[in-house]
Amino acid sequence: MTREANRRQFLSGEVFNAAPEPDEAPRKPPASGDSVRLETRAMACTWSVILNPGATEEVMTASSAFERVYELDRRLTIFRDDSELNQLNRMAASGEWHPMSAEVFGLLEQCAELYRRTDGCFDPVTRPLAALWRTCRQNGRVPRDEEIAQAKSWCGLEHVRFNRDELAISFELKGTGTPPLEIGFDLGAIGKGYAIDVVADELAKGGVDEYMVHGGYSSIRAQGGHNGADGWSVGIKNPLFNSKRLATLVLSNQALSTSGSNVQFFRHEGQRYGHIIDPRTGYPCDELLSVTVVAPTAAEADALSTAFYVMGLDNASSYCDDHPEIGAILVPIPQGTRTLAPVVRNIPETHLFFEP
């Protein structure tokens, strides 16, 4: 039996306690070695830059790079009235043009491009839907169809207009009824990834060429190698048992992001509702348990992990087929079993190690 057949059978549940054949010892990921870790808090989560032991100057560069994260947090958050993003959001219902900084304008243009590439599965202009579901969850009910329709009428990145010459943005929302209190952009599905890329740029400018940086553990970017390996070992949690590991991925000169509803969900009348909403329907997604995306940048990985979760297994797999630079580990929700059956796209077997 080949190694690939062994792995397929294990993942599909056909083989569980089978011992490896004598000439096929279990593959093990590279061992971690000594490292230097710098940590801080930003964007409501823990941030780390991990370096190989070396020059003191690299540590100082990494420490200085955190300043850019704090700056971006102040500008991109929806939890501060004076943030640049919220100043834009307050203009959403008016339809007036609002000037932006070049950096934030560029990030929102990147959002628009990802919106187009994913056929609307990544849409950061869905705050009314998120607020509706949050309120209903607190009240122990699910939204009515008419409530969802009204909230959706105030959503959609397709209603955002960009003036590149003036670095200005306006909304042409077609909302019905009174405008909701929460409206406009929420960059929770790309903001951390973008900030990680900014940190990576700062490290590169400072001459640091081997590192791993993460924001909140779910979004990571790695450059160069560690402990003699050609990359950095990154653990991927088992979405059914968070204290266990599903796999280890060796990441080099790439970024990774994971999305899922294994933690944030609620049940109502026997039905399970996750926290990731399909912007096209207004209802939570219910096909995948978790999605891990590998991409050239952390912003792209961050956004696509959400988009793939919305797309579902078949469409996410097709996207990877059309974009060989994008890798994915797609874990469908088990049906009547506790056996996971991950689907892997565009990730070399030599870099992926599933737990026995």
Question: DSSP labels for 160-178?
Answer: EEEETTTTEEEE-----SS
Q: Which pLDDT score is estimated for 14?
A: 34
Q: Which pLDDT score is estimated for 338?
A: 74
CATH code of the domain covering residue 102: 1.10.3980.10
Assess whether 237 and 93 both reside in one domain.
no
Q: Which pLDDT score is estimated for 262?
A: 58
Assess whether 204 and 60 both reside in one domain.
yes
The whole-angstrom separation of Cα 21 and Cα 141 is 53
Assess whether 201 and 290 both reside in one domain.
yes
| Residue 66 counted as domain residue | yes
Which residues span the domain enclosing 132? Answer: 84-171
> Of 140, 171, 202, which one is at a domain's C-terminal end?
171
pTM over cut 0.85: yes
Assess whether 252 and 300 both reside in one domain.
yes
Structurally, the chain folds into a number of domains equal to 2
| Residue 28 counted as domain residue | no
For the chain, list residues with pLDDT below 70.
Answer: 1-26, 261-274
CATH code of the domain covering residue 322: 3.10.520.10
> Of 107, 142, 171, which one is at a domain's C-terminal end?
171
Q: Which pLDDT score is estimated for 16?
A: 31
Assess whether 162 and 264 both reside in one domain.
no
Assess whether 283 and 207 both reside in one domain.
yes
> Which strand ranges, in their side-by-side order, compose the sheet holding 98-99?
98-99, 168-171, 160-163
Assess whether 156 and 208 both reside in one domain.
no
* Residue (of 204, 215, 210, 234) closest to 52 by Cα position: 210
The whole-angstrom separation of Cα 310 and Cα 121 is 6
Assess whether 323 and 300 both reside in one domain.
yes
Q: Which pLDDT score is estimated for 7?
A: 42
